[in-house]
Amino acid sequence: MAQQNLLLLPGDGIGTEIMAEVEKLIAHLNASGQSDFATDTGLVGGSAYDAHGVAISEEDMAKALAADAVLFGAVGGPKWDDVPYEVRPEAGLLRLRKDMGLFANLRPAICYPALADGSSLKREVVEGLDILIVRELTGGVYFGEPKEIHDLGNGQKRAIDTQVYETYEIERIARVAFDLAKTRDNRVHSSEKRNVMKSGVLWHEVVSAIHANEYKDVQLDHILADNCAMQLVRNPKQFDVIVTDNLFGDILSDAAAMLTGSLGMLPSASLGAPDATTGKRKALYEPVHGSAPDISGQGMANPIAMIASFAMALRYSFEMVELADKVEGAIASVLDEGLRTGDIMQDGCKKVSTSEMGDAIIAKL
């Protein structure tokens, strides 16, 4: 087994507590011959600011660029509310995304049967749900120029944001979505608003062309983003992979995520372009949730989103699909046995701490 290189960036708040569970898990997998990971650890966010006055040091940034994959915990909190804008904790994550060229954000929404009653929707609508939203992360209206506010001088102002997409940006995100669909249920919904947006017209045209030329064997449907939002709430199981732009993806992925119940359960991945020689993509894996300052340092955090993010790294960066299945299966089985951290607690279940949850998952492996 070739040695794999992982950089751990726990961050601050509960980031350090949940990353500790992944470290235990990796140590177990290495010791039992199921993996051969070499891990290194760096500082990001509040922890980097406290140590070096930056959001991430150049040394740790270089480590992130050299690693086979980065696992990121969480950053932020009231302690750093007053630090300068460029070195605030969130700047560390933005720098990583930018310098690693992470343009594809993968947000799975999986509803574990044991937690289906925690959803705001009926059990039959969400039980067994397994969808993947692929959001374009580096283009669109969040970054397009011009982006400004003008004073019109008559007591009025005008604010402008600009949605910009070029062909190559749509092509590369479409390829990520189609490739992922092939490993799943082989279906993609592409979502935009071509009825009112030029960028939606181009999006539709480019995704259709990539499909016709390279992925005819994958089923492609186009869906307007507002209808997609409705369908996600009405009948989410009709979807397999949804590919969409930065803005719609931000909103649709948060909506889809909440169908499953808890923030503490949700992993994500961000991928870059394939390397010209090795074909490997730069990748960062992180829970969807933040640093949860309200519960940090108390052993209450749910480590499952972080552990499930590590499982995504196994699947997408290391092609260790069987081990990824095994880790996800271990999560499902501890939930079936009724173990719960506070955030997902239900009547008749056993409340456990962060480390007890981690230990129970490891015991299944």
Residue ranges binding ligand NAI (CB under 6 A): 14, 74-77, 90, 93, 263-264, 286, 289-295, 301-302, 305, 341, 343
- In this structure, the strands spanning 241-244 and 219-224 are unpaired
Point out which residues pair with 71 in neighbouring strands: 8, 285
Nearer to ligand NAI among residue 239 and residue 285 (C-beta): 285
Give min distance, CB of 270 to ligand NAI, in A: 11
Q: Give yes or no for residue 136 binding Mg ion (CB under 5 A).
A: no
24 marked as part of a ligand binding site: no
Question: Which burial class, exposed, middle or buried, applies to 158 when counting CB atoms under 10 A from its CB (0-12, 13-18, 19+)?
Answer: exposed
Q: Which lies closer to Mg ion via its Cβ, residue 127 or residue 254?
A: 254
Cβ-based nearer residue to Mg ion, 249 or 261: 249
Considering the rule CB under 5 A, would residue 12 count as an interface residue with Mg ion? Answer: no
Contacted entry of ligand NAI, Mg ion, none for residue 8, CB cut-off 5 to 8 Å set by kind: none
Distance in angstroms between the alpha carbons of the first and the last residue of the chain: 19
CA distance linking residue 178 with residue 160, whole number of Å: 33
Q: Which does 269 bind (CB under 5 to 8 A by kind): Mg ion, ligand NAI, none?
A: none
Report the relative pairing of strands 157-160 and 148-151 from DSSP bridges.
antiparallel
Residue 193: active-site member: yes
Q: Is 254 a catalytic residue?
A: yes
Confirm whether 226 is a catalytic residue: yes
Q: Which residue is nearest to Mg ion (CB)?
A: 250
According to CB under 5 A, which one of 250, 286, 328, 343 is a site residue for Mg ion?
250
Size of the site for Mg ion (CB under 5 A): 2
Minimum separation from the CB atom of position 135 to Mg ion (A): 9
Decide whether 37 or 285 has the Cβ nearer to ligand NAI.
Answer: 285
The residue annotated as part of the active site, out of 12, 193, 245, 285, is 193
Tell whether 336 is in a known binding site: no
* List 254, 280, 359, 364, catalytic entry: 254
Give strand ranges (E) for the chain: 4-11, 37-41, 69-74, 104-110, 130-136, 148-151, 157-160, 187-192, 219-224, 241-244, 267-274, 281-287, 339-340, 350-351
Residue 250 designated active-site: yes
Q: Which does 263 bind (CB under 5 to 8 A by kind): ligand NAI, Mg ion, none?
A: ligand NAI
235/229 Cα distance (integer angstroms) = 10
CB atoms within 10 A of CB 26: 19
Cβ atoms of 304 and 360 closer than 8 Å: no
**Is 83 assigned a ligand-binding role in the annotation?**
yes
The three-point CA angle 317-319-325 to 5° equals 105
Nearest to 299 by CA among 261, 344, 337, 356: 356
Rounded Cα distance between 133 and 252, Å, is 8
Out of 226, 275, 325, 336, the active site residue is 226
Looking up tokens 């397009």 gives 144
Residue 250 binding result from Mg ion, ligand NAI, none, given CB thresholds of 5 to 8 Å by partner type: Mg ion
Per the structure block, which two tokens stand in for 251? Answer: 């909103």
The partner residues of 268 in beta bridges, in order of sequence, read 286
Annotated binding-site residue? 226: yes
Could you tell me which residues are annotated as the binding site for Mg(2+)?
Answer: 226, 250, 254
Catalytically active residues are: 142, 193, 226, 250, 254
Residues making up the binding site for substrate: 97, 107, 135, 226
Binding site for Mg ion (CB under 5 A): 250, 254
Annotated binding site: 77-90, 97, 107, 135, 226, 250, 254, 290-302
Residues in the annotated binding site for NAD(+): 77-90, 290-302
